[in-house]
A and B are shown apart, each in its own frame.
Chain A
Amino acid sequence: MEYRPLKRPAVSTFAAVATIGLMAGCSVVGGEKPSGESITLVTHDSFAMSEEVMQAFTDETGISVTQVAPGDGGALVNQLVLTKDSPLGDVVYGVSDSFASRGVDEGVFAPYTSPNLPASAEPYLVGDLLTPIDASDVCMNVDLDWFADRGITPPETLEDLTKPEYANQTVLMNPATSSVGLSFLVTTIAAFGDEGWPDYWQRLRENGVSVVDGWSDAYYVDFTAAGEGGERPIVLSYSSSPPYTIADDGKASTAALLETCSRQIEYAGVIKGATNPEGAQKFIDFMLSERFQAQLPEQMFVYPINTEVALPEDWEKFAPRPTDPFYLSPEQIDSGRTEWIEQWTSLMID
């Protein structure tokens, strides 16, 4: 066998690749430091807000905003807890009620009450540490066309879901792996009490509900109205989902069952140890302003916490706010969550 020296073309190819690599590397790594006053906003990874609105904050206050989004609801709070000694930023937005008390107990928030707080937010306050910014309602959704085609009346209540005519029609999510799933577990606990909920789930199980692990999986694979070949016309989703199923005739092909909803609140708070606590407070004030609140439905699919703020037209028609959703406070959820999930898992999966 003969061997030969490394050929020149190979050397130059590798040199070229390395050079491109280094150049591209610089462009990725090079970060720009904002000049002047700034804050770092820590959010969950589904934060979205139009550039105009974000720019308006900077124009009004002279404070520029850097965003970090280290994960979804649970991961967000956990990261704040882990980094208490060396905080990730100044202000946090997107703490959900199911994880709020963990952050409160671990002392990661600094007290602040905004002068802009609307009356409709007051029932959801967590001491003076967290400010409610938006609400969303997790409800069962039904495929109206599917029921119309078969001449069956869609279900309306939690009880209906256990009736034989709706057998094998429901798909929902595991509360251990999905925040939406956890919300529905909370719904059943609020509705049937600490004693009664396992029995209700037993009946759901007997009626052939399917439990999957994530919302997208349930909605896009199993739900008849969204996927191709889905075969379950009842799915756990949001009260705000129907506007996204508006067909050419101007009507939504799905509807939320407003008697099956549970309310989730998302909070903002000043992070303890923030380098710019005043800036953080100003940002919380800004999130309660009408300008920011009015954008919440279209940008993040949630209701403004300020009920005086008008909803978009499609929402008024097809995603009205549930009038009397089930609700448990962050403390109640936090104290029960682990045990409920364990109990639920042994009931439904093991």
Chain B
Amino acid sequence: MSDPTPAAMPRRSRTSPLRVAVWLLVLAVPVVFLVVFFAYPVLTIVGRGLFEGGSLDFGAIGEVLSRPRTLRVIGNTLVQATVGTGVSVALSIPTAFVLYRRSFPGRKFLRSLLLVPFVLPAVVVGVAFRALLAPHGPLGFLGWDRTLMAILLALVFFNVGLVVRMVGTVWESLDPRAEQAAQTLGASPLRAALTVTLPALFPVIGSAAVVVFLFCATAFGVVLVIGGSQFATIEVEIWLQTTQFLDLKTAAVLSIVQFGVVILVFWLSSLMRGRQSPPLALADGTVPAPRLRLGKGGSALDRVCTGIALLTGTLILLPLATMLIRSFRKDGAWTLGNYVALGTRGSQALTVNVWDAAINSLRIAVDATAIAVVVGVTLALVLSRRPRNSGARRAMGLLGAFVMMPLGVSAVTVGFGFLISLDRPPLDLRSSLILIPIAQALVATPLVVRSVLPILNGINPRLHQAAATLGASPTRILLTVDGPLMLRSVGLAAGLSFAISLGEFGATSFLVRPDRPTLPIVIYRLLGRPGDGNYEMAVAASVILAIVAGTVMTLAERLQPSTSGPTR
């Protein structure tokens, strides 16, 4: 709101101190949250590893970094994350086009389906992928079992829906008039899309790519199950060193490397985005999408994009279908028994039945979503301001990077950090159940910020100016201009937070109480127990998790206000 004040208003030389104070106060909430529940625990555990007898052990850092294994692990991480992100983005832009810019029956259902992988526990996906790719599996002929290719497929499987969703949501509300104008002037649909629309989408694509890169770089369970130790990433190595060897020194150094990766990625992405992204021409609400036409009269653009979307769909549907089929099979026969068993405690594997665990998961997810949305939206609002003061701008840049950090920090680090830093009054929260939603909200917050921020940044400042000229107060502008435009992305962000919470395993496994396990926790326990039917139950429970997540995300989509007209 510090954009040039219209001449009609009394001139103000600087932003008023009162407004700065209000913004700082607003900023305090999320910052205090992140400092207390993220920075402090993480620094405590990293510090425990790095300080030897009261002084920083620089030798250790050099020693760990010069090990060949460390270098290989860093290399693995960068290769897997770069390729995984590249492929995810390449597949998702055409897919987003089909799902958000063309209309056809069932597209809302497909949109929700695409995000389902995102919530599935990595162990389950790992086992599903291996079942698919193992020598006798349906895709065994590819010879990809336990290869880098399998890991990359799984990374794309997990993340492509996220990119489609983030990009699609913006695309959907992009004002189509510029593209139409280009076409009127003789550009083919493909050319208009490439030269007009794609550049407008760059900020959100960049935003999504950063998030996906960090998700890929910190993928853990899936790498371990599908690829095994030879493809170990930094995250896997931190887990090994912390939980198996209690080598906090190595874990701390690797954590610092991971921070470095986050900062680097963030810096690169902000370079790519350029200093000033042009405001997005956002329509107020959803722009009606034309029908998808593949036959006569359809454009090459539609056909190519549909082809790629089908490829994406296949990649996502195959493992999901494998899982679904397996959930109805036991001892070589078809059965509903695996689902009936969800009302039991399995072959002594569980402390509560799967339905109770599902209810725990839902409750925790509501809390986590509330926290993540409040913290994330506040941060996004603050980060969307463009202060004229260069120091303030730089501080803003740092805050932007800091906000992303939770995505780049290992769940083990957070879990152990909570354990040794929140252990005495006034913050003796170790056995408190509130830590679980807090830990999950930490992972979700960056995603909320990344979903909401591109929209806020894309709002044309002239809207604010016009409103101000008409005498609207800053608060009123926030509510009447930014609010409605932002709501759509808040709905998306809430859905994502909910999904993250439902699927989160790493940090939860540290904090959960045995009498209140979540769905991923019981799935993991069922998989780890050699009881009769436990595996089949785990698969059925995963299907339930997928259905719950899909439903919630469909509902989140419905919650979005339909501000203008019908969708088609």
Q: What is the interface of chain A, defined by CB distance below 8 A to chain B? A: 1-7, 9-10, 13, 17-18, 20-22, 24-25, 27-29, 31, 40, 43, 45-48, 66-72, 74-75, 77-79, 81-83, 86, 88, 102, 174, 176-177, 211-217, 219-222, 226-231, 237-238, 240-241, 244-247, 298-301, 338, 345, 349-350
Contacts and interface: CB of A to CB of B under 8 A. Distances in A.
Given A1-B283, A102-B246, A176-B244, A213 B563 contact: no
A28 B367 contact: yes
Given A221-B134, A231-B136, 20 more contacts: A2-B284, A4-B563, A17-B494, A22-B370, A31-B433, A46-B528, A74-B243, A79-B416, A86-B423, A102-B246, A213-B229, A216-B123, A217-B225, A221-B131, A228-B326, A229-B131, A237-B530, A244-B530, A301-B529, A345-B229
B225 A213 contact: yes
Contact of A3 (B130, B481, B559): B481
Nearest to B126: A217
B311 to A, nearest CB: 25
Contacts of A176: 229, 240, 244
Interface residues of B, number: 83
Interface string B502-545: 00000001111111000001000101111110010000000000
Looking at chain A's contact residues, the main secondary structure is mixed
Contact of B437 (A27, A28, A246, A349): A28
Contacts of B106: none
Given A47-B514, A228-B326, A81 B246 contact: yes
Contact of B530 (A25, A78, A102, A219): A219
A227 B527 CA distance: 12
16 contacts: A2-B284, A3-B463, A3-B481, A4-B480, A7-B561, A10-B484, A45-B509, A48-B351, A67-B514, A82-B416, A174-B228, A214-B225, A230-B134, A241-B530, A298-B348, A301-B531
Given A74-B243, A78-B243, A86-B424, A69 B347 contact: no
Contacts of B224: 177, 213-214
A48 B348 contact: yes
Given A45-B514, A78-B246, A222 B134 contact: yes
Given A4-B480, A28-B433, A67 B515 contact: yes
A74 B509 CA distance: 14
A238 B529 CA distance: 11
B559 to A, nearest CB: 6
B35 interface: no
B136 A229 contact: yes
B367 A244 contact: no
Nearest to A337: B245
A218 to B, nearest CB: 10
Chief secondary structure at chain B's binding surface: helix
A244 B243 contact: no
Contacts of B510: 70-71, 75
B363 A27 contact: yes
A68 B513 contact: yes
A336 to B, nearest CB: 13
A345 B521 CA distance: 29
Nearest to A338: B245
Contact of A221 (B130, B230, B437): B130
Interface in B487-510: 487, 494, 509-510
A247 B331 CA distance: 9
Nearest to A229: B136
A282 B437 CA distance: 35
Contacts of B487: 6, 10
B385 interface: no
Contact of A28 (B243, B364, B481, B563): B364
B229 A177 contact: yes
Contact of A215 (B369, B430, B467, B528): B528
A24 B368 CA distance: 11
A246 B370 CA distance: 48
A237 to B, nearest CB: 6
Contact of A24 (B366, B514, B521): B366
B528 A4 contact: no
Nearest to A175: B244
Nearest to A300: B348
Given A4-B484, A22-B370, A82-B419, A349 B228 contact: yes
Nearest to B416: A82
Nearest to A24: B366
Contact of B370 (A18, A45, A219, A228): A18
B509 A71 contact: yes
A102 B247 CA distance: 12
Given A29-B434, A68-B431, A177 B240 contact: yes
Given A43-B514, A68-B513, A70-B510, A9 B134 contact: no
B561 A78 contact: no
